Each structure stands twice: as structure tokens, then as C-alpha cells.
Amino acid sequence: MSKLYTFLKYFFITFWTVFVVAPFLWAVSTSFKDFQSVNSKVTYIPWLDFEPTLEGWRVLIKSPAKGGVDIVEPYFNSIFVTCTASLISIVLGTLAAYALSRFTFKAGFVRNNDITFFFISQRIMPPIVLSIPFFIFLSTIGLLDSLLGLVVVYIVLLMPIAVWIMVDFFNRVPKELDETALIDGCNPYQAFYKVVLPNSIPGLIVAGMFCIIFGWIDFFFAFILTFTEVQLLPVKVVALNSSITPWWSLSASALVSVAPLIIVAFIVERYLSKGNLSGALK
Amino acid sequence: MAKIDLSNISHTYNPLDPKPTYALNPFSMTWENGKRYAILGPSGCGKTTMLNIVSGLVRPSKGEILFDETPVTDLKTEDRNIAQVFQFPVIYNTMTVYDNLAFPLRCREFTKDKIEERVKAVSDTLNLSSFLNSPARKLTADQKQLISLGRGLVREDVAAVLMDEPLTVIDPDLKFRLRRNLKEINEQYKTTLVYVTHDQNEAMTFAENIIVMDQGEIVQVGLPKDLFEKPKTTFVGYFIGSPAMNIFHSTVSSDHEVKINDTTIKTNSNLGNLKDKNVKLGIRSEFIELAEKEKSNTVKIKLTRVEDFGNFKLLTGKMGDLVIKSKVEREKPIPDGELNLYFPPEKCCVYSDEKLV
């Protein structure tokens, strides 16, 4: 029985690893191929099956005038928009979540849970519903096709995630902790940032991770709200496609695009393995 | 350290309700500087509310709190310089044991030397010295509670240390030692200690004065001996002591006598105004004596059970439909069947409308 269990365990782990890693290996291999290697016959291993080339990677940094696509600027645009929007969302979302967790709000029939739901409800709506209001809003305030405009929109999209995760997290931080800090001599603000916040770091990391992932992978709003002045990475990567699909540069750009998320995953994984996030994720 | 006056305090958690229910009914009380108090009562009787009002976590619906004659009702918690220890350990998980103990002093901007001196003194008292550099989250539940306690005791100038059933998570051996330590701290530093508990033994062994509460009311304040020997209400009689006080329905037959099931019992209470009225007679099982033969103030019971508790025997018997319990010395021979129990008049308490006459 235990042998069968061990066998099944390793079988599924191997299966899952292959399932997850194979596309990456495929992308890595393809990114070093040229037109000939991709289209002639099935090839896998560089130097043996095909002669590797850096052309797919070079295209990404070459200017369009020289036949490249130059994803460097969109890349930094994406980093700027994602990080700024995530940071602001986390700061505002954490403060909102703390208030929703610790104070009782009453306005007519509206209570704390309704306000929390109001935040989340913005993520329940299909994005297409929000696209026209966002478009009109940004064009009214003159921020269409700008990084700042995207930051504003992404804050609206990411803050519900931060509020949602942090409300749940703060609800599980006993309120006696705040009370003890007050008794020990902190004012409410000191109690928040000296005691409650350090205890909430796992929650902040999880919220930050989700904000970064959702901000980084968004294509829809980046596509609708930007045109020529500003472009984000997902839009640029999609724009790589043409009548002849350049699999080599698409693969290279895909690897470059997921690299930051892999770094985030490694950082978060360190906390996960320490067990620090167990409470935050339950 | 301060004298704490609670003047006409009452509190409700639903003040906007047309008929609010009060967690604390109006009361006034003074906690003298440097004394040890225990607040005793069943769960939900308002003990924790009272503590939270004193520490400022709850603002009373009515009344005023004074520390050394200075009103503090409107003062925020952080400005009251009070310490409170909760039932379950509350520690700062991200800090070391040292930082936890030093936190209240750092918040109040004590000098580094003073902080070190106080943390050392408190950690020595609570046996935490060897853990000072460990992360607080790695300690066991009872060690964590010691940290909570330590944060309460680390400030010498604190107005009072309020403890809300602080020893619940601590093992019995350590509990006993800690109670003794707390007493020593109180005697040494003259810190006013207020200790909430529903364990009467804890209250009796710890406090100089016990405040018994029931359903938001303070039913009796007094020395452990008074609460035991002269409970002011039948509730206190039931609540204090193990087993609870024997309480029998009876009728006043003369100025000092009551009748239970046709047996006349003489008491020291003055019952002149209550002639022929229905009252209750209360007597502790500890004070009922085994009588060799029938005499005045004895009742005849049919023995139904004898329980040996090691250091005493608990006899349970019936007189008609009344159940009487009596504690006797373990060595005393217990005759089978019927026996006579003597009720010493000075130990008999008479209750009219549940209150001591």
C-alpha cells in the first residue's frame, strides 16, 4: 500500500513537473532557433538538432527602424505601472482594510461587509463593462494613452485585491494586539505601524504578489487605453505577431515577460517555506 | 500606582436601543493604592467590561473614573499608564522577548539603562532571563503569557495592573508560583493589582479584597473570610465555596429561630420583623458538625452518599426532600443510616429576598 502510494506520489509529481516545465523548455529552445529550424522539421536540442542563434533575442532590443521590435521601453513601462499601482494599492488597500476590520461602519443599511463586497464587486464585473467608463474617464481628465492614466486604472483594479486579502488577514490578527499596544503606550497610529503592520507582513506579501501578478499580466486595459505614445509589455508582445508568426522572438519575449513573476514567486516561496504565510493563505 | 475611584459607573453596549441592556449596572467603588483585588463572577457578568472601562478601552455609558482624584474618563488608553494582561497571551510576534518586555518602556521614552534594568528585574522574576534574545513567537503558550505579564509589570509607575484571567493557559504548578510572585511584587512595589477570575480558589488565595459580580451587579465586596462565612446574597453562597452553601427554604418562627421541615434552628440573626415569613437558611458544609445524639439545633438526616476527597469526607444526606451536604474530617467514623447534624447558630445565615438578614 505504502509502495503504491509512493509510486503514485512520485508519478503525479513527475507528471506535474513535466506539464509545467515542458512549455518553458520548449520556449527556451525555440527562442534560439531561426526560421529554418522552426519550420523545417521537429527539432529540440541545440547544436545537435539545430544551430542556435540569438536572432530571436536580438529582435527584442533592436529598434523598429532596423527591423526589430524594441520591447525595452514597454518593459520598463510595465514595471513602472505595475510597481507604482501595486504599491499605492497596497498602501491604500491596507489602510482601508484595517479600518474595515477594526471599526464598525453604519450608513443606512450599509455595514462593513457591504463595503468590503463593494470593493470586491469591481473584480466580479467582466472587464469589458469597465472599459468604456474608464476610456471616457481617462479621456475627460486627459490621461488617455499615458502611464499615469494606466496607473490610475490599475489602482482601481488592484486595490480590491489588496483590501480583500488584508481585511481577511487583519480579521485574524486579534484585536487584543492593538489594545495591548495602546495599553503599552502607543497611540492608534503607532499601534498600527509598530505592532499590527509588522505582524501582517505575510498578508502584505501575499497581497503584493497578487497585485504584481494581476498588474503585470493585464492585456485588456493596456490595449484599450493606450495607442501610440505609451505601450505596455503584453500589448507589445502580442504586436510581435504578423502574417508569419516569429516563434523565436515570441518565445524570447515570453521568457523575458515571465522572468519578473518567477523572481516574485521565488521571493514569496521563501516565505511560504518558512511557514510565515500559513496564516495568510488559509 | 494610584487610588482608583469608580463613581456611578454603568455601561451598555447598545446605548441607542430604546431599552438598552446594561452590561454593568450603576455602581461606585474605590480601589486603594497598592492593594490586591480579585473580581469574581460567572462568565458574562461584566468583569471584563469593568477592566476595559478602567484601562480606557471602553468608555463607560455613565459615570466617572478618577485616578488619585484626577478624572481620567476622557483620557485615552495610552495616556492612562495602566497595564492590562488578557486571558490569552498577546505578544508581539515579530519581536524578541527582550523587545517585548522593553516595548512599554520604549513607548514612554525611558532611558536605555532604565529599560535594561527593568527588563532584567522582570525577566528574573518571571524566569524569562534565558529567553531574552529568542523570538517571542517561538516560546510555549505559558511562556508567552509570562511575557504578557512581564509587559504589565515592567513599568514601576503604572497606575494599576489589570489581569483578565491571566493564568488560564499556565500549568497548575507554575500558576501557584506565579500567584505567589504576584503577591511578592505587590508587596515589594505596592502595585495595585486587579485580578479577574471565575475561579474562586484563585481569587481567595490571591486577593485581599474580593469583588463578586453577577449579571452586571456587584453583589458583595469583602475579605475572603467574609465572603465565605457571611455571604451577603444566596448567589454568593452558591458561587463561593465547594460544595456550594447549603440553602434551605424555611419559615421564621421566632426572633432568632427558623423552621425547616418542622425542625427548629436557632440562629444569631435578628428576625423580629420577619415573623412567619418565608426565608432561606444558609450554612456552609464546612460548619455543619456531626452530632452523636439529637440535641438543640440538630437535624436528623438519612445518609445517601459518602465521598472521600483524601483530606476530608463529604457526606450527602436527605431530610425529607432537602439535600444537606457536610464536610467532615477524614478520620471520623461515619455511622450508617441516620445521623444527626449540628448547625452552629453563629454560622447560620438567614436570607430574606435572597439578601442576608
Domain of B101, CATH number, reads 3.40.50.300
pLDDT at A174: 86
Residues A62 and A97 in one domain: no
Residues of B with CB under 8 A from a CB of A: 55-57, 76-78, 81-84, 86, 88, 90, 92-94, 103-104, 107-108, 148, 151
Cβ count within 10 A of residue B270: 11
Residue A255 resides in a domain: no
Band of residue B351 on the pLDDT scale cut at 50, 70, 90: very high
What's the rounded Cα separation, in Å, for the pair B246 and A112?
51
How far is the CA of B260 from the CAs of A65, B50, B251, B324, in angstroms? 112, 40, 7, 12
pLDDT at B117: 94
- Can you say whether the dihedral through the CA atoms of A48, A53, A56, A61 is positive or negative? positive
Q: Which of B78, B88, B96, B158 to substitute to test the interface with A, most A CBs within 10 Å?
A: B78
Give the HSE-up count for residue A256: Cα atoms under 13 Å, Cβ half-sphere.
Answer: 25
Q: For the purposes of burial, counting CB atoms within 10 Å of the CB of A268, is it exposed (0-12), middle (13-18) or buried (19 or more)?
A: middle
Chain A residues with CB inside 8 Å of B104's CB?
A: 183-185
Shortest alpha-carbon distance between residue B86 and chain A (Å): 8
What's the rounded Cα separation, in Å, for the pair A201 and A208?
10
Shortest alpha-carbon distance between residue B81 and chain A (Å): 7
Fill in the amino acid letter for A2. S
Give residue for cell 473580581: B39
Cβ count within 10 A of residue B246: 21
Residues B170 and B280 in one domain: no
Residues B267 and B322 in one domain: yes
Backbone phi and psi for residue B155, each to the nearest 5 degrees, phi listed first = -90, 120
Chain B residues with CB inside 8 Å of A186's CB?
A: 78, 107
Residue A116 resides in a domain: yes
- Kind and range of the H or E element at A170? helix A147-172
DSSP, res A64:
G
Characterize the bridge pairing of strands B193-197 and B36-40.
Answer: parallel
Residues A100 and A228 in one domain: yes
Residues B262 and B224 in one domain: no
pLDDT at B243: 87
User: Mind listing the pLDDT tens digit for each residue in B180-206?
Assistant: 878 888 888 788 899 998 888 888 888
What's the rounded Cα separation, in Å, for the pair A90 and A70?
31
* Nine-digit cell string for A34: 531561426
Chain A residues with CB inside 8 Å of B108's CB?
A: 185
**Beta pairing partners, B249:** B280
* Chain-chain contact of B88 with A176 (C-beta, under 8 angstroms): yes
Residues A91 and A39 in one domain: no
Q: Which of A16, A51, A66 is the last residue of a domain?
A: A66
What's the rounded Cα separation, in Å, for the pair A156 and A133?
12
Q: Which of B191, B217, B235 is the last residue of a domain?
A: B235
Contact between A213 and A222 (Cβ < 8 Å): no
Look at residues A241, A242, A250, A236 and name the one whose alpha carbon lies nearest to residue A56. Answer: A250
* Chain-chain contact of A198 with B86 (C-beta, under 8 angstroms): no
Pick from A176, A199, A201: CB nearest B86? A176
What's the rounded Cα separation, in Å, for the pair B152 and B91?
12
**Beta pairing partners, B84:** B162
Residues B204 and B266 in one domain: no
Residues A95 and A224 in one domain: yes
Residues A136 and A24 in one domain: no
Residues A218 and A234 in one domain: yes
Q: Which of B205, B235, B265 is the last residue of a domain?
A: B235
Residue B105: closest C-alpha in chain A: A184
Look at residues A210, A198, A257, A227 and name the one whose alpha carbon lies nearest to residue A72. Answer: A257
Domain holding B257, by residue range, is 244-356
What's the rounded Cα separation, in Å, for the pair B137 and B31?
35
Characterise B149 by phi-psi region: left (phi > 0), alpha (psi -120 to 50), beta (else): alpha
B307 or A279: which leads in pLDDT? B307
Residues A95 and A45 in one domain: no
Residue A272 resides in a domain: no
Please check the confidence at residue B126 and state whether its pLDDT lies above 70: yes
pLDDT at A274: 54
Please check the confidence at residue B54 and state whether its pLDDT lies above 80: yes
Shortest alpha-carbon distance between residue A186 and chain B (Å): 6
Pick from B82, B93, B107: CB nearest A199? B93
Residues B224 and B256 in one domain: no
Domain holding A55, by residue range, is 2-66
pLDDT at B247: 93
Residues A29 and A132 in one domain: no
Residues A77 and A59 in one domain: no
Ranges under pLDDT 70 in chain A:
271-282
CATH number at residue B331: 2.40.50.140
Residues A113 and A58 in one domain: no
Residues B194 and B248 in one domain: no
Shortest alpha-carbon distance between residue A140 and chain B (Å): 45
How far is the CA of A152 from the CAs of A85, A135, A156, B6, B281, in angstroms? 7, 12, 7, 53, 77
Q: Which of A66, A85, A109 is the last residue of a domain?
A: A66
Contact between B142 and B87 (Cβ < 8 Å): no
Characterise B298 by phi-psi region: left (phi > 0), alpha (psi -120 to 50), beta (else): beta
What's the rounded Cα separation, in Å, for the pair B149 and B164?
11
Residues A55 and A79 in one domain: no
Residues B189 and B80 in one domain: yes
Chain B residues with CB inside 8 Å of A187's CB?
A: 76, 78
How far is the CA of A126 from the CAs of A116, A119, A135, A249, in angstroms? 19, 14, 15, 31
Please check the confidence at residue B167 and state whether its pLDDT lies above 60: yes
**How confident is the model over B321-336, as a mean pLDDT?**
86
Residues A47 and A16 in one domain: yes
Average pLDDT, chain B: 89
Contact between B210 and B227 (Cβ < 8 Å): yes
What's the rounded Cα separation, in Å, for the pair B149 and B167?
10
Residue A182 resides in a domain: yes
Cβ count within 10 A of residue B15: 10
What's the rounded Cα separation, in Å, for the pair B320 and B295?
19
Q: For the purposes of burial, counting CB atoms within 10 Å of the CB of B252, is it exposed (0-12), middle (13-18) or buried (19 or more)?
A: buried
Look at residues B162, B203, B141, B146 and name the one whose alpha carbon lies nearest to residue B48. Answer: B162
Look at residues B339, B292, B299, B346 and name the one whose alpha carbon lies nearest to residue B315. Answer: B339
Residues B279 and B150 in one domain: no
Residues B205 and B271 in one domain: no
Please state the domain count of chain B. Answer: 2
* Chain-chain contact of A176 with B83 (C-beta, under 8 angstroms): no
Please state the domain count of chain A. Answer: 2
Q: Give the list of residues 6+ apart from residue A46 with CB closer than 8 angstroms, or none.
A: A29, A32, A52
The fraction of chain B above a pLDDT of 90, given in percent, is 45
DSSP, res A15:
H
Pick from B57, B88, B151: CB nearest A179? B57
Band of residue B170 on the pLDDT scale cut at 50, 70, 90: confident
Q: Worst-scoring range by mean pLDDT, A242-246, B39-43, B316-320?
A: A242-246
Residues B156 and B230 in one domain: yes
pLDDT at A279: 42
Look at residues B158, B159, B139 and name the one whose alpha carbon lies nearest to residue B147. Answer: B139
Give residue for cell 432561606: B280
* Chain-chain contact of A185 with B90 (C-beta, under 8 angstroms): no
* Chain-chain contact of A182 with B148 (C-beta, under 8 angstroms): no
Residues B211 and B344 in one domain: no
Q: How many helices (H) and strands (E) does chain A have?
A: 15, 0
How far is the CA of B339 from the CAs of B59, B180, B234, in angstroms? 57, 42, 26
**How confident is the model over B253-276, as a mean pLDDT?**
87
Q: Worst-scoring range by mean pLDDT, A64-68, A183-187, B19-23, B34-38?
A: A64-68
User: Mind listing the pLDDT tens digit for each residue in B127-152?
Assistant: 889 999 999 988 888 888 889 989 98
Q: Which of B235, B269, B293 is the last residue of a domain?
A: B235
Residues B29 and B130 in one domain: yes
* Chain-chain contact of B84 with A187 (C-beta, under 8 angstroms): no
